[in-house]
Amino acid sequence: MRFWFLRCLNTPCFTALPCKLGEAAARAARSFTSTQTANRRGIAVSGAEIREDFISEEEERALLEELEPVLKRKRYEYDHWDDVSLRISVFSNVSHMMAIHGYRETERSQWNEKNSRVLQRVRDVAFPPGVKQLHLVHVLDLHRKGYIKAHVDSVKFCGSTIAGICLLSSSVMRLISKKIPTDVVDLLLPRRCLYILRDEARYSYTHEILKDEESYFNGVKINRDRRISVICRNLSEDNAE
């Protein structure tokens, strides 16, 4: 029998209280930790990692200061709210099919010095030395009512690792096994965390960001506000030359 639990792996994230999420969410995260510990042998997905408080409030502010003027010039885009249309996200010649609602996005290769240091920290943690990375960083701004439906990032263009930092709002990322759709793993992504999807989590599961109405973690509501993710990826073998 295959086990599945609300959990994530290798996470220093839940050892400390997930501050700023509120008492109820903090309690849920604590109970989550014991489930994870008790059932360590049942771990079904490898390669999902969350580092809580990866960036400080000041670093979050600095990233927003650089991004906001660019994002503000764009409008949030809404596909069909009742969802049938798939959109192709195109950035850095990387495209994958995903349905996404209430978003605007940009990509950026030049960052100010302070933000470059933060992004270098992401890269150092997420990618082994020598791995060919996309130098354009993908920035996805989700409206508070926006959400991302289940998808797998383009296997053709993106490599084995997706690493994102989360600004402005906590959220719930859901992973669903492509082979066994009842194998569902929810990850709590606290504001200012870094999440990394590698290997199995990246290839064998779809990922999605839940809409506010569905945004619960261990039965606790995780309010979804406007959320910006800043995502680094590596190149697939095909594209690494």
Positions touching ligand OGA (CB under 6 A) are 98, 140, 148, 153, 164, 207, 209, 229
The residue whose Cβ lies closest to ligand OGA is 229
Contact 185, 191 (CB under 8 A): no
Least spacing, CB of residue 24 vs Mn ion, in Å: 28
Question: How far apart are alpha carbons 125 and 119 in whole angstroms?
Answer: 10
Query: Site size for Mn ion, by CB under 5 A?
Result: 1
The encoded tokens of residue 225 equal: 């506000």
The residue whose Cβ lies closest to Mn ion is 153
Least spacing, CB of residue 188 vs Mn ion, in Å: 17
Nearer to ligand OGA, 39 or 79 (CB): 79
Where do the DSSP E strands lie in the chain? 48-51, 87-91, 94-98, 100-108, 137-151, 158-167, 171-177, 184-189, 194-198, 205-209, 216-217, 220-221, 227-235
Nearer to ligand OGA, 30 or 216 (CB): 216
Nearer to ligand OGA, 9 or 148 (CB): 148
First-to-last C-alpha distance (Å) of the chain: 41
Least spacing, CB of residue 48 vs ligand OGA, in Å: 13
- By a kind-dependent CB cut-off of 5 to 8 A, residue 164 interacts, out of ligand OGA, Mn ion, none, with ligand OGA
Least spacing, CB of residue 197 vs ligand OGA, in Å: 9
Cα 227 from chain centroid (whole Å): 11
Which residue is it, tokens 């192709």?
A: 88
- By a kind-dependent CB cut-off of 5 to 8 A, residue 140 interacts, out of ligand OGA, Mn ion, none, with ligand OGA
Nearer to ligand OGA, 198 or 207 (CB): 207
Least spacing, CB of residue 201 vs ligand OGA, in Å: 12
Q: Is 186 in the site for Mn ion (CB under 5 A)?
A: no
Contact 185, 48 (CB under 8 A): yes
Nearer to Mn ion, 141 or 153 (CB): 153
The binder of Mn ion chosen from 153, 157, 189, 232 (CB under 5 A): 153
Contact 45, 75 (CB under 8 A): no
- Return the closest-CA partner of residue 61 out of 113, 115, 16: 115
- Return the closest-CA partner of residue 48 out of 15, 9, 11: 9
Least spacing, CB of residue 81 vs ligand OGA, in Å: 19
Torsional sign, CA 51, 53, 56, 59: positive
Nearer to ligand OGA, 21 or 148 (CB): 148
* Site for Mn ion, rule CB under 5 A: 153
